[in-house]
Chain A
């Protein structure tokens, strides 16, 4: 790391060489490469954050360009996370940039969050904020939040050093809210919100100033008025790994009797396991070989997974889900019950 590059911020007594080193060793994950992400990413990289992850499964479209300034017209149709990292890497070669061109889900959130020091919420939907919040609680990570409505934005730092969480502020999601697409937004409003987030990241990592914890900052950019609303920290002990799995890692289950005719029955037991199953549209691929044998799994038909006890079929479900299979079901019955059902039918 060239010190001269950062000399103007090292000159700040609140930063200094030790602070700069802290930033260089820090890992920040930005969830969303939209308006907020585009605003904050260049400054995270320019300030010398060592490692930056960007997760977004979305692609660049023409109506993004007015506020998502890392993208140009030639990027339309390209993956946002990949383009953003590519552009930033050219300008800030010291930063280790990792794009994840997928959406944040209950499947990938915990593993991903565990690899970073702080999570930055740059998303544009309320539901995903509960996923980020709960994944941060389970992995013990702080997260910076910002969200925009027309000319106003909200900012807060949650779950930092035992502070309140998004659920303490907003226990449940409202029934209807408008996104930037529906409500409209000026690029300057979303950029300011993104930079407030960046500022909270720096304060947290450098342990300077007063973090926006247990209090929501609401800024009106038309009047330039700022309001702070404090909220109480509530006990979040019920947000456990078990709760997380139940809430965000749902497995679709179906009874054998309700399966469709065109569906495929995928048996993920080892080849020598008993009983042998006789079914139409039956495929057997042991779980251990599943990832290498995906060409054998049909893509357009419903897939009904089963094994001996229901444990391996759930693992297989996750694997196929991660590969983009959509019509997946775990059968409520497994080999022994299925054998009995099919045996009765034949009789």
Chain B
């Protein structure tokens, strides 16, 4: 599953994209992967599946072909 990182998150992960393989392909599993791999806190990030931001409360199932984006608000201006 292709996961893209934007803004500060790409600086934290050290890359703009990842190929991620999860046991159970769901948003909850992805959040826990991001936390354990990059210490990204679920509260500070937002997940888009195929360019649609999804609720982190609902455990949305993901497909291997889904394009995932991990976003956060920017502060600067």
Residues of A within 8 A of B7 (CB): 149-150, 152
Q: Are B76 and A178 in contact (CB-based, < 8 A)? A: yes
Q: Are A230 and B73 in contact (CB-based, < 8 A)? A: no
Mark out the residues of chain A between 210 and 237 whose CB falls within 8 Å of any chain B CB in the assembled complex.
216, 218, 220, 227-232
Cα separation A136 to B61 with both chains bound (whole Å): 35
Cα separation A170 to B43 with both chains bound (whole Å): 10
Cβ contacts A224-254/B at 8 Å (1 or 0 each): 0001111110000000000000000000000
Q: Are A124 and B43 in contact (CB-based, < 8 A)? A: no
Q: Are B8 and A178 in contact (CB-based, < 8 A)? A: yes
CB distance from B8 to the nearest CB of A (A): 6
Residues of A within 8 A of B71 (CB): 216, 218, 229
Q: Are B75 and A227 in contact (CB-based, < 8 A)? A: no
Q: Are A230 and B51 in contact (CB-based, < 8 A)? A: yes
Chain B: how many interface residues by the 8 Å CB criterion? 22
Mark out the residues of chain A between 173 and 187 whose CB falls within 8 Å of any chain B CB in the assembled complex.
173-180, 183, 185
Tell whether A36 is near chain B: CB-to-CB under 8 Å. yes
Q: Are B41 and A190 in contact (CB-based, < 8 A)? A: no
Cα separation A261 to B77 with both chains bound (whole Å): 44
Known: A169-B53, A178-B8, A218-B71. A123 touches B41 (CB 8 A): no
Task: Please indicate which of the listed interface residues B6, B48, B52, B73 has the most CB atoms of chain A within 10 Å of its own CB.
Answer: B73
Q: Are A122 and B77 in contact (CB-based, < 8 A)? A: yes
Q: Are A124 and B77 in contact (CB-based, < 8 A)? A: yes
Residues of B within 8 A of A126 (CB): 73, 75
Known: A152-B6, A174-B43, A175-B41. A190 touches B77 (CB 8 A): yes
Q: Are A179 and B75 in contact (CB-based, < 8 A)? A: yes
CB distance from B55 to the nearest CB of A (A): 8
Chain A: how many interface residues by the 8 Å CB criterion? 43
Tell whether A35 is near chain B: CB-to-CB under 8 Å. yes
Task: Please indicate which of the listed interface residues A34, A175, A229 has the most CB atoms of chain B within 10 Å of its own CB.
Answer: A229
Cβ contacts B40-77/A at 8 Å (1 or 0 each): 01011110100111010000000000000101111111
Instruction: Report the nearest B residue to A194, measured CB to CB.
Output: B77
Instruction: Report the nearest A residue to B48, measured CB to CB.
Output: A229
Residues of B within 8 A of A129 (CB): 73
Q: Are B75 and A154 in contact (CB-based, < 8 A)? A: no
Tell whether A158 is near chain B: CB-to-CB under 8 Å. no
Mark out the residues of chain A between 192 and 221 whose CB falls within 8 Å of any chain B CB in the assembled complex.
193, 216, 218, 220
Tell whether A147 is near chain B: CB-to-CB under 8 Å. yes
Q: Are B77 and A36 in contact (CB-based, < 8 A)? A: yes
**Complex A-B, nearest 4 residue pairs according to Cβ-Cβ distance, in ascending order:** A180-B76, A147-B74, A174-B44, A148-B76
Complex A-B: 25 CB contacts under 8 Å: A121-B77, A125-B75, A147-B73, A147-B75, A148-B77, A149-B75, A150-B7, A150-B11, A152-B6, A153-B74, A169-B46, A172-B43, A175-B41, A175-B44, A177-B8, A177-B74, A178-B75, A179-B76, A180-B77, A218-B71, A228-B51, A229-B69, A230-B52, A230-B53, A231-B52
